Amino acid sequence: QQQVKQSPQSLIVQKGGISIINCAYENTAFDYFPWYQQFPGKGPALLIAIRPDVSEKKEGRFTISFNKSAKQFSLHIMDSQPGDSATYFCAARGTYKYIFGTGTRLKVLA
């Protein structure tokens, strides 16, 4: 019940395309859902986040879609760029901890 399931494990997208990463959770007590971006040799950095009372949040080219009834949320990267090539983690906040997905390695081809 504490797991966050993330898919796909890896993703290859052409420059200018849309990258979509999906996550699902079971614990309805989770109250905050951030996405993190991680480059090799660096720690994860917060990209965008959403609370469960909102169905969508957009910041620039990044959008989170949140479906509370299905207990699913997704990250959409519009107009994907080679600089977006990184590993992306979804997460869910429980009591005293964040539970992270297993990560999606995104490669955007130039």
Partner 1 sequence: GAGVSQSPSNKVTEKGKDVELRCDPISGHTALYWYRQSLGQGLEFLIYFQGNSAPDKSGLPSDRFSAERTGGSVSTLTIQRTQQEDSAVYLCASSSDYNSPLHFGNGTRLTVT
Q: Which of 13, 11, 35, 22 is nearest to 79 (CA)?
A: 13
Binding pattern to partner 1, positions 36-75, x when CB under 8 A? x----xxxxxx--x--------------------------
Nearer to partner 1, 17 or 100 (CB): 100
The two three-digit tokens of residue 1, written as one number? 């019940």
Applying CB under 8 A, does 97 fall inside the site for partner 1?
Answer: yes
The two three-digit tokens of residue 76, written as one number? 């959409």
Q: How far apart are CA 71 and CA 36, in angstroms?
A: 19
Binding site for partner 1 (CB under 8 A): 4, 6, 32, 34, 36, 41-46, 49, 89, 91, 95-103
